[in-house]
Structure 1
Amino acid sequence: MAATLFDSTIYRDLILDREFGALFTDSAEVRAMMIVEGALAKAQGTVGVIPEIAAKAIHRASLELQIDPAGLSPETGKNAVVVPALVSSFRTLMQAPEYAQYVHFGATSQDIMDTALALRLRQMLTLTETRLKRVVAGLAALAEEHAETPMAGRTYGQVATPTSFGAMAASWGNPLADLLEQLPAIRSQVLRVSLAGAAGTLSAMGDKGDEVRAELAKGLGLSDPEHSWHAERNGFAAMAAWMTQVITQLAKMGDDLTLLTQSGIGEVRLPAAGGSSTMPQKQNPVMPSMLSALARVAVGLNATLQYAPVHRQQRDGAAWISEWMTLPQLCLATGRALQIGGDLAEGLKPDTESMLGHIDDGTGLIYAEALSFELAKSMPRPDAQAAVKDMCKRVIAGEGTLKELAKAEWTDLNADAIFAPSSQLGLAPQDARTFAARAKALA
């Protein structure tokens, strides 16, 4: 088995999303760093830090030259960062030393790598937004269509009171809609240039450093933080926490679906299921299980990334490298979870007959709370609760259904209205439709 399943050729169709995966490869990293080096030279040429003719040559070369990532390995193994090897190869391949001497002028490795990461995170967050909207829209469609489709609500794994499948879809979707609304703030914290030089002072560029940084930000379409953030990693910690919440909220849906599809329940049908190597009858809830598995891994990755702000002094190699080892995997987990979540949201089908069957198993006990509140209209609430609780014990003992015993005890009781799922849904239909309307506004 590969060290990480994201890199496995065996498990890639299970765990890897190809679009997200393409953003976190050696080739993608090298290409992004080349773009940053070219944009930096162009910005420096514009404000007069380096000769404009050299800037144009470097910028053109950054778009044309091809650097093999494997060739950067030996030097990176010594330096811990890839930029020295990249710059060396860049200068050699330019075959114009009079211009190449200005490549990477006044910058430091972290400037290039962090800015290149921001370029890839911009694409990643765009994909994330698109997919998150797809999940929310899919759940909204379910909520609207099944706002009044009754099903048993369960607490502690036990049947409680009736709810609707639409309300359950809304309970999956509302937290995701919250996270969608938070996405602009996450973008603002990570989609920014880094240009601060060796120790955060940008002294090598004299009095034009801030102009270069602003021009670089403009050229790359990123924001200008107007200060050094080498050791300020709160943005990545915030993004990691946000992605983890996305995955764990999807896992909540996944765990619920695993329970709803289990033998003896069967209240929903999945768009796809997995088989067993030995049991022909099995229809395993692979997609929901993947959401749960990804969440467990994401929480661990996030724990490491929450330590990222502990970045010693002006720059810290250990803290920085720990980000490289965890952030890409968390991004890939987010992409795969959202893909699965979208497929489930668009492909789920409730089994309404099974849902109705589990609301009332013939005993009517799910209506015990409703009965107690109806009785409380004509007697003290504690007395009503005690009476219904005693009657539930009689039902469990086999003396009859709750409806039968109630009608016999209270002959003027409107039992048909109490013992009907449609009359006991409470705010469930409203909650489902409110979420559906909210989701349309976010589309």
Structure 2
Amino acid sequence: MPAGLVALALGSFGIGLTEFVIAGLLPQVGRSLSVSEAAAGWLISGYALTVAVGAMVVTAATAALPRKPVLVGLVALFVVGNLLSAVAPNYPVMLGGRVVAALCHGSFFGLGSLVARRMVAPERASRAVAVMFAGLTVANVLGVPFGALVGERWGWRATFWAITCIGVVAAVAIAVFVPGWAGAVNRRPPPGSGTVTGRTDGLRGQLRAFRSGQVWLTLAATALGYGGMFGAFSYLAYTFTEVTGFSSTDVAWLLVVYGSGLVIGNVAGGRAADRNRDLTLIVSLAGLGATLAAFGLLAASPVASVVLVFLTGVFGFASVPGMITRVTDHAHGVPLAASANVSASNVGNALGAWLGGLAISTGLGYTAPLYVGAVIVLTGLAVMTVAARRSDRSGPGSVPDLGLAQDPASADRR
């Protein structure tokens, strides 16, 4: 495995920690900064909204720049944001630190996925993306308990100091181990690399990629897949305690079970997508929809709930590597499309959480978000099926080799 992929995974781990760790720290942060629960909640929702918007804006602004230094700069921005959070004397500075850190999130995963797949052979592209996203899935498992443990022992500021240090190490690792040619723009790769150089893409050229119906279908499937999963996930604590009968202290380890499923689904989905991408996406969405529906029916059973929350994680993240490589392939490798995929997932998260909450507020009960999530995911499955059929009709070779892959042998020589 190229060291550059490990460096990108470390960056995604740090960014993932920043996103998830705050959930376990909200009570401490709220008391320390003397703000209400609702205001403290904006440290989560403000981050998510910034990711959705910042992914597109930052990527568009850096489109013409070499991707390796941009990635290093994005991690540096992440470090600054978490440093602000660590030293924040008041709530506005804390919120500002969260916003600054969130600005790097979408662009890092968008650009990082393009750089990651350049470091491996074409047939391993989705697996390379999965390696980078492994950091995010591990952070999902460890984020909340890590934040709670460090925060309880040394205070919530220590958590952000630790994440800041992780960011510094990640920035150095990316600068040292990610090869320059993997993130080069408008420059022919070294002779003998076997890589075809993609075309030059300014902002207008990148926007032109969104004329593709396949790009929009993939983005829609991404938003719906994420939205269904997150709509259910947002209210799992209520489902576990109010329907299944678990205690509130059990929720932490149940979320670790869910996060473990994310890790496994990410790895398995990346491998499967390299063999048959569209089939993998269809199976993962179908599996997620069926799992959420079964979860709603069997939520009263503790054993079934543990198994099904694990499978929710597995199927929920199995589609991620394939969705990213699919949208970038059909968008001719432009970075804005990769970042748009991240934005689409965050829009889906917001939609799913809103619809799940709406279902509860109308009196449908704490299993309602699971059924709502299943409907959303199955809608995404229908979109993905249409996309796959249209892609099949366009014939083989419809997505050209755009220099997104790099012979690992040539990587080893550099």
Does the alignment reach a TM-score above 0.5? no
Higher helix share: 2
- Larger Rg belongs to: 1
When normalised by structure 1's length, the TM-score is 0.24
Structure with more contact order per residue of length (Cα contacts < 8 Å, sep ≥ 6): 2
